[in-house]
Amino acid sequence: LQSHLADVEKTHLRDLLRDEQRSSSCEVEHNGFFVDYARQRVTAETMNKLMALAKAANMKEKIQAMFAGDRINVTENRAVLHVATRAPKGEVIKVDGVNVVPDVYEVLDKIKSFSEKVRSGEWKGATGKPLKDVVCIGIGGSFLGPAFVHTALRTDHRAPLAASGRRIRFPSNVDPIDVARQLNGLDPETTLVIVVSKTFTTVETMLNARTVRAWITSNICVPDAVSKHMVAVSTDLALVKDFGIDPVNAFGFCDWVGGRYSVTSAVGILPLAIQYGYEHMERFLAGCWDMDTHFRDAPFDKNIPVLLGLIGVWNTQFLQCPTRAILPYCQALAKLPSHIQQLSMESNGKGVAMDGTELPFEAGEVEFGEPGTNGQHSFYQLIHQGRVIPCDFIGIIKSQQSVYLKNELVSNHDELMCNFFAQADALAYGKSAEELVAEGVAPDLVPHKTFTGNRPSSSILLPTLDAYTVGQLLSHYEHRVAVAGFIYGINSFDQWGVELGKVLAGKVRTTMNQARTKGVPITGYNSSTIALMNRYLSGKTKWLYPEPRDVFPSTSRQRVRPEPRRLWPLEGTSNADVGH
């Protein structure tokens, strides 16, 4: 591949795209999921060599090992079986010789029963009112995946009917502004809170959970307020019980489901089933499984996640393009780029191989994106005339919302898709100085208006955006990430890189408490950090409570409430009215 690179460097996409046979060979379709990678800087020889690379990396064997429940997450000694969370009931997927699919359906059946009770009004809050709103507290994969799926479905013509009269919020950031905004306008008496933390120890999630618990109990003064209004997605039933949640209302998932791959477990299915109904989640899971089996069974030259995963490696390692733009031409996919950021960068942002040896290259892609056409007015300048950034264009044939004005040339969705088609070609073809001169462009402007082109992209086209195709899309990107990791020889299923900052934050937490409650000087850090912390503390109010008290944002300037009352500022409350 490295020696072949010189041949590819001599080509330009405007020439490659003249070859109709090549373009046709770059089209792949599976059950309506259509991909065109003709605008990638690859030839037939490139693809043959990438297939040879996959064979040399034992790609097929690694895929089989994942589906077989082998412990391919070697640093945590775990299987990697998020695919089992969407397997049909009759499928057999084993871990240590035990079929785990029945365990998956035990949880799914429990979710179905509980969600139907909440949606029907059979499950009521502590004051006897039906629970119409859901607050789902999580972070990372416990937030990004469910939020992506929710955003994708909320304007689908079927799902909103099932969600009529219901609201769902996803507080995730430990910043109190996030919780305040997510709770704003909700009634505690009609709100169900879902706390998502496998170990029930995630610092940010549990602080937010305790905060929302205080919101519940300060407004609903009955003994069973927490047990009626809070449930958990966790495997630690003891901590769930200590928190005040009835362990009967805890929904588990196994350690072979990683956080960023967990949206198809109880993490995502529970809140989304309550919002949209369990039937829609069954369609979502079916779409995931459809792409799962395609990835497992399809030959590599027709295997969409394998093809695009290999091309990603080609772009990153050989064309030296380590960044990728996720560009959905569909506003309903607005949360897809942020989910792919975590999925890809937490999985493949590694510096060592499976055996712990340092990699002789930099693994992983830098991911970012924005829906079209918003992105065109933001960062497309850079991808057209600045750095070369391979792009994934994602389009939908049938819009969730159809608008056509009688005097317009095309419908609103057609206008969007005109840009979808045009942008990919603009990146590929560019515009030469000769063309600009022929058009009469002033000589001093020619360099500024020249587009080099030869900028790679793939186009993904879905028939519609519904629960099933959202599942296909999610599964595709999950497996595309795994393909790159299998090639690199890294563990795409651990995340040790997030740990160090958490440990250091624990030390800072202790220091902060001592400084704010006892005035203890900041020591034990470098001079820069000490100066930053002192500057921060100089603008804060010292805690001088005679005894521990709960303190919440207030429309008054009081630091401590003398009695319980509804928490969080209403719309229109100024920042000056909120205490430190």
**What amino acid positions are annotated as catalytic residues?**
346, 377, 502
60: tokens are 């097929």
Quick one: which of 263, 272, 286, 254 has its CA closest to 107? 254
CA-based radius of gyration for the chain: 26
Q: What are 391's strand-pairing partners?
A: 325, 457
Which letter, b or e, does each residue of 543-566 get, where b requires 16 or more Cβ atoms within 10 Å of its Cβ? Answer: eeeeeeeeebbbeeeeeeeeeeee
Q: What are 395's strand-pairing partners?
A: 461
25: tokens are 């060979």
| 247: Cβ contacts below 8 Å, ≥ 6 apart | 237, 240, 241
What does the alpha-carbon distance between residue 429 and residue 422 come to, in Å, rounded to a whole number?
A: 10
The answer to whether the peptide bond before residue 373 is cis (omega within 30 degrees of 0) is yes
356: left (phi over 0), alpha (psi -120 to 50) or beta: left
| 102: Cβ contacts below 8 Å, ≥ 6 apart | none
| Helices assigned H by DSSP within 460-579 | 467-488, 499-518, 527-538
Quick one: which of 277, 251, 247, 245 has its CA closest to 112? 277
Q: Which H or E run contains 193?
A: strand 191-196
What does the alpha-carbon distance between residue 239 and residue 244 come to, in Å, rounded to a whole number?
A: 9
